[in-house]
Amino acid sequence: MCGISGYISLSGQQNIEQADMFAMNRAIAHRGPDAEGYHFDQGLGFGHRRLSIIDVSSGQQPMHSDDQDITIVFNGEIYNYLDINKDLTSLGHTFNTKSDTETIIRAYQQWGIDCLSRLNGMFAFALWDKQKQHMLIARDRIGEKPLYYSKVDEDTFIFGSELKALKQHPKFTKALNYEAIEDFMTFGYIPEPKSLFVGTQKLQSGHYLLIKTGASSSIVDKKYWDLPTQGTFDKRPEPKEIIEKLKAATDIRMMSEVPLGAFLSGGVDSSAIVALMANLQTEPVNTVAIGFDLPEVNESHFAQLVADRYNTRHHLEIVDHESFDIIDRLADIYDEPFADSSALPTFKVCEAAKKIVTVCLSGDGGDEIFVGYRRYRLHKAESAVRSVLPHWMRKAIFSPLAAIYPKLDWAPRFLRAKTSFQSLSMENWEAYLNSISKMRSNERNKLYSTCFKNKIKGYSSKQVFADLLKDKHFDDPIKEAQYLDFKTWMPNDILTKVDRASMANSLEVRVPMLDHHFVEWAFQIDTDNSLIDKNGKANLKKGLEPLLSDENLYREKMGFSIPLSKWLRGPLKERLLASLTNPVLASFDLFEHTQLQRLYDDHLSGRSDNADALWMVMVLSDVLNKEYGSDAAQANAPLGVS
């Protein structure tokens, strides 16, 4: 696991300033504290930070081919590299190292860009082909490893694992992308390919860039992988088959030359991974959990059940539920506004894990693959209503009801009908967006200032989903929702959260359930095979019954959360107010002051639960303050609107 950075002259003529490359690479030193390396050539600079996991003694980067024509910097792990090596050896290749980095070089030599189809892993890499004078930059299929890039002038292209690397380049500009702010206020993160800044993008998961240099330079962005989007999605596997395939995906992620363990929350997915690991190795599994000194958010008891059953080397840390020290670091860790409050406990569990291991396996992905979220069940029920009433009728009936029905945050769930009325008046995909939005469109429009509305010129975050579904059709609304989650929520929230929290602690995290072969297969399972009555992940749980107790499998899902609403009414009240009234935030004129004040007052009084909205504004304020300080004019120069 590593960090990569670099830049290239598109003409091939520009001299590379080595000091700039050093600054870019050292800005992400936390991603690889074990070593740093550089490569410079005419018009090219590569930087690498290394966290040694495999072939510790001889896997240094940048790495070159034998003839020095190919150079690579690589972040990630290729889990099937030994199998690829066998194929390449049979084709006449010989290997100088035991590193998966060399595997990519030789696979590219043999198959060119088509080598991507053979790689099973998490990765972001940049590969320079000196003979062809082009650079290949690729990102893994699901989006486990990040990659940012920017063309900072007509001749200069830069890239890095994190935004903080790009910001070290003297030509990097921080013109604020106002459309990205609308997306953030909808999702709680900025979805790829956008970033906080105009002209800077995230390479989308399952995509590659081919950058040709010289007189006719070009940059081509191409998708090389996608989830299955056609077919009947009618697989109905036996529970045992699910477990066998997951076991295989877990097995290939256990190769390591450094201490390895697993996160263990006591929920279905993390417990499944630990159980499978225990059956795949003779030594006790190293497991890591955190608990809170607040019973309603503490699930450490359920983790202990699994630890006792499999006699793991269990490491539990109890965290003060009012431990706020990490909040002030969020803007530095994530670079962009990121409002998933579970980033705090995720950082804490990564911090705890680093004390005993260097690699951790995680159970992320189970809810998205096997229909585990409550929101899928609600979406299915609402979609059934939409299927029997034409759109014009639903709009005529439910839109007026949504407009007049109050927002009853304090009421039992069955009385909170405002969102359901809104969703029933919409098409399936729009309704799903409405249900997952941190703030619904009517709430955002009420909060936004006239100035901000003018800057985004009618742009709506609906465009994110509309673009993803272009030329695609799903008969099953749940499959459509899962697809959208895999393209937005998974890479931009779940995997971003884990990558930054783990890398900030120099820890590698591997996710067996996101093995792309497993995902491709499981995505074609009939929804009714996973969602039976109100029981999500039904057949996954059935398959795990011989391995885990009912108390782990069938308890109410708690989630990895913090008491955010209480925090913002109590110990974080002054911190929140300081962010909301920060002069830097005010200088951007994004929000109507009276509406922001109303959100704050209503939340503190208990009249409404506005925690999500207030937390997002607080996070955004902190990032803007960090990036612009007192000089908000930078945001609008030269192109402050995307």
Q: Is the pLDDT of residue 461 over 50?
A: yes
- Structural element, H or E, at residue 434: helix 428-436
User: What pLDDT score was predicted for residue 415?
Assistant: 39
Question: pLDDT tens digits for 449-459?
Answer: 999 999 999 99
353 lies in the same domain as 465: no
Q: Is the pLDDT of residue 322 over 80?
A: no
517 lies in the same domain as 469: no
Across the chain, what does the average pLDDT equal? 91
58 lies in the same domain as 165: yes
User: What pLDDT score was predicted for residue 395?
Assistant: 66
Report the CATH number at residue 247. Answer: 3.40.50.620
* In a domain? residue 234: no
Over range 619-632, report the average pLDDT.
88
467 lies in the same domain as 511: no
* In a domain? residue 38: yes
Burial 126-147 (b: 16+ CB within 10 A, else e): bbbbbeeebbbbbbbbbbbbbb
* In a domain? residue 535: yes
Q: Is omega for the bond preceding 62 within 30 degrees of 0, making it cis?
A: yes
Range of weakest confidence among 51-55, 57-61, 540-544? 51-55
Over range 322-346, report the average pLDDT.
90
95 lies in the same domain as 174: yes
Catalytically annotated residue among 2, 115, 350, 360: 2
Q: Is the pLDDT of residue 468 over 70?
A: yes
Question: pLDDT tens digits for 99-157?
Answer: 999 999 999 999 999 999 999 999 999 999 999 999 999 999 999 999 999 999 999 99
* In a domain? residue 546: yes
Cα–Cα distance, 609 to 171 (Å, whole number): 43
271 lies in the same domain as 337: yes
User: What pLDDT score was predicted for residue 412?
Assistant: 43
469 lies in the same domain as 514: no
Of 528, 553, 578, the residue at which a domain comes to its end is: 553
Of 223, 256, 274, the residue at which a domain comes to its end is: 223
* In a domain? residue 642: no
User: What pLDDT score was predicted for residue 410?
Assistant: 43
Q: Looking at mean pLDDT, say which of 164-173, 527-536, 631-640 comes out highest.
A: 164-173
**How many domains are contained in the chain?**
4
Share of the chain above pLDDT 70, in %: 89
**Comparing C-alpha atoms, which of 51, 112, 108 is closest to residue 76?**
51
Report the CATH number at residue 74. Answer: 3.60.20.10
289 lies in the same domain as 268: yes
* In a domain? residue 232: no
Domain, as residue range, for 631: 564-636
* In a domain? residue 498: yes
* In a domain? residue 559: no
Of 553, 585, 608, the residue at which a domain comes to its end is: 553
CA dist list (Å): 10 to 6, 41, 138, 151, 349: 13, 13, 18, 10, 42
**Is 451 a known active-site residue?**
no
SS3 350: helix
332 lies in the same domain as 455: no
383 lies in the same domain as 523: no
Share of the chain above pLDDT 90, in %: 78
Over range 467-496, report the average pLDDT.
96
Q: Is the pLDDT of residue 539 over 60?
A: yes
- And the tokens for 633? 């004019």
- And the tokens for 445? 């429009």
CA dist list (Å): 213 to 49, 303, 631: 26, 53, 36
- pLDDT interval class at 396 (50, 70, 90): low
CB 464 within 8 A of CB 441: no
356 lies in the same domain as 249: yes
533 lies in the same domain as 623: no
